[in-house]
Structure 1
């Protein structure tokens, strides 16, 4: 899992500290990479004018504002504003603390309350899914809840990353999370815990059908999947259900690694950047799963999980069952700066093997079926009441 990641690749960008201006001049002359630099054509006069304006305003604030102002907070705010001006909810600048917490979320373990969240067009933080057996999951926080306050502080419209930074903290410390659900505010008094994000669970259902649930794609997901897939095959399964419902995505290379076991030697996804450069990601394994496959998806299936589902659908390796997926067809790179800060920037669109870009559209399942109305907003659904799972089993049995 040391392959190049699309949405979490760590590179170093030259940051020149202009100490006399009290601000940062970020990579005007190029991107620093070891001993070499890549020249970027810029309008030096425009940049110089912009830096002078920032420096002048920063000096004015420091000298005339009636209270002391934290210089670092000013600089972070200025850079955050630049990313906000892009108008892309998935691009953002991170302070040192925020960047550290972002990186923790991909390693498989972090300290917090245990929720996967996304951001809507108004920069509100929406719960995609709470992890099972975590403070959030055990307390009753649900898919679709909007997080509006953390410890009494209003976080609406401040972005997902800000809300997450407030919910994260040392295990054992208290945090009050307020959500909006169906027009009502609900308070949850939680105690933060260490969240071990085991991302793959599996079991054997009746009629020798294997079931694998992937909750997200972190640095361990590919290896977890291969191990549990091998265990299922050793038990003689004759069909396979892959559950990607409420999987909000994660590391694209891990999605490709899972696809490698399922699809054999074929294209999984390709990306295209602003310059039209195309990069292909292929499955290369000769050890392809040969049993019939169904894939469960819903509105919480997003990003890297849509890449996997889209590849399975396009290559006809399996049948998608459920409801239309989220529709995130763009990818981000995450850049680490030399002072410990960092940023996330959308740098390409991705396309399924058949050339579909599903951004803002989603994937339409081969078999559309809603979840049992009594359980539509909960993670724990009895197998015999899970209408989507039952349909997946029915489809598999017709192919076995």
Structure 2
């Protein structure tokens, strides 16, 4: 399932949205007019000539924008960016996760576009659209077989305009007319699992992320929090202040990051007036955790306040300052590289987790087990996936072949707390947990198979060896449990 937010492709996207920003007042961007007057005059001369003489009759605005972007592009720095007024508004909206849409998170399905999540207060909710519904038509055009991004673009539009959808729910279909409007997607969500294991997901370090994090943390404490899991997967970053304020909830005093400017001067960002927490913290990251996500992870890791689970992070270790421009646009400029409190390099390197785990569902299970959860019930049907009754936006493939059911080896291994590896000599998947080790061959027995780089194991054969796993498949619902 492709996890995308309607009106957004921030998640699983390494783009200009990956930023660690400090906002700078307009006055700080004043240039030395005398030093640049000669160059500026030459640029203006060429712009005037092109505007007055080129056969295409280019506008002054278009030429100026192209000239500015050409200068920025010459730096070959993907994080130094010029924004026009409209582009800056779109960028800030994406950072704050404000979008014009119908208010759903969607995924792919063979019959069309699957509704993975409906946001509260959205026009989709008002129209009666539910999780698990499938959009089969947009404005009368079938969605099956179309690229997800292409369908999303047809649903998006101007606030106040209407979009006509055909919805499939079970065996019935019906038409829905809903109005596009501004949608505020929550950047911080939380959930309490059993055994006092609390979960907080931060999808962006927006201006309000720190306050929302603190509020969600207080709620979990009131529910008997004993261990906290912070999920920063697919979080491309955001504002430095938000990361700093969240770090203050766990670190009393210290350095958040060391910085290195163009003159190699270190001006560290300090944590002051912070606090500590009486419970262990586990952090979940992946290759799309970048910038401010890496700042917070690196600090908590260096101060030994967290156990990090997942994959190596993106490696965006630079700081940008945003300079507002008189035309309503903005210039985002890389001003520093940063290092963790222990002077670890992040830029183009990333941060290494303490516990390696691949795959979205296995990562969550592994992180929850690290946090102290011991019982798991994973259910999946064609449209929904839940873990201990908590609905996930992620899913995993199930392969049915020759009367056998195959589950990704990493999902099964995570459920029983096992390690998984590939034995090239025997062409088998090896799963080991404690004193138990088993090899599932892809050869004649067919106990495992490989599809597009993913290994799958016959769940029945797996359960014969790892007896703590119970499984059933009834009415299209697969249930895997470990008690």
Tell me, yes or no, whether TM beats 0.5: yes
- CA offsets 1:77-129 (integer angstroms, 9 cap, x no match): 1111111111111111111222233233344534358899xxxxxxxxxxxxx
Q: Matched residues in 1 for 2:281 and 2:221: separation?
A: 13
CA contact (8 A) 1:110 1:194 kept: yes
**By how many angstroms is 1:294 displaced?**
0.7
Out of 238, 245, 249, which is 1:261 matched to? Answer: 249
Show the counterpart of 2:369.
394
Out of 350, 354, 367, which is 2:342 matched to? Answer: 354
- Structure 1 outlier segments of 4+, above 4 Å: 112-116, 137-141, 145-152, 190-193
Q: Matched residues in 2 for 1:150 and 1:207: separation?
A: 40
Partner secondary structure for residue 263 of structure 1? coil
**By how many angstroms is 1:67 displaced?**
3.5
The answer to whether 1:234 aligns with 2:238 is: no
Q: Which has the larger radius of gyration?
A: 2
Relative contact order higher in (CA < 8 Å, ≥ 6 apart): 1
The answer to whether 1:56 aligns with 2:56 is: no
Q: Matched residues in 1 for 2:363 and 2:194: separation?
A: 16
Aligned residues: 312
Instruction: Please list, as runs of the form range in 1=range in 2, the aligned pairs for 1:1-400 lying within 5 A after superposition.
Output: 7-13=21-27, 27-29=31-33, 44=35, 47-107=36-96, 109-111=98-100, 133=118, 169-170=158-159, 172=161, 193-371=181-359, 376=360, 386-397=361-372
Relative distance call for 1:81 and 1:147 in structure 2 (3 A) is: farther
Q: Matched residues in 2 for 1:170 and 1:276: separation?
A: 47
CA contact (8 A) 2:20 2:318 kept: no
Q: Matched residues in 2 for 1:218 and 1:8: separation?
A: 12
Relative distance call for 1:216 and 1:338 in structure 2 (3 A) is: same
TM-score after normalising by structure 1: 0.69
CA contact (8 A) 2:255 2:268 kept: yes
Q: Matched residues in 1 for 2:331 and 2:264: separation?
A: 23
- CA offsets 1:226-285 (integer angstroms, 9 cap, x no match): 111111112221111111111111111101111110223232222221122322223334
Give the alignment's Cα RMSD to 1 decimal: 3.6
Q: Matched residues in 1 for 2:321 and 2:149: separation?
A: 26
- CA offsets 1:312-349 (integer angstroms, 9 cap, x no match): 11111010001111110001111101231211111101
- CA offsets 1:125-146 (integer angstroms, 9 cap, x no match): xxxxx995479x98799xxx99
Does 357-366 or 58-67 show the bigger shift? 58-67
Does 389-398 or 91-100 show the bigger shift? 389-398
**By how many angstroms is 1:195 displaced?**
2.5
Show the counterpart of 1:36.
none
**By how many angstroms is 1:191 displaced?**
8.2
Partner secondary structure for residue 344 of structure 1? strand
**By how many angstroms is 1:48 displaced?**
4.2
**By how many angstroms is 1:206 displaced?**
1.2
CA contact (8 A) 1:113 1:168 kept: no
Show the counterpart of 2:450.
none
Partner secondary structure for residue 105 of structure 1? helix
Relative distance call for 1:215 and 1:6 in structure 2 (3 A) is: closer
Partner secondary structure for residue 72 of structure 1? helix
CA contact (8 A) 1:14 1:338 kept: no
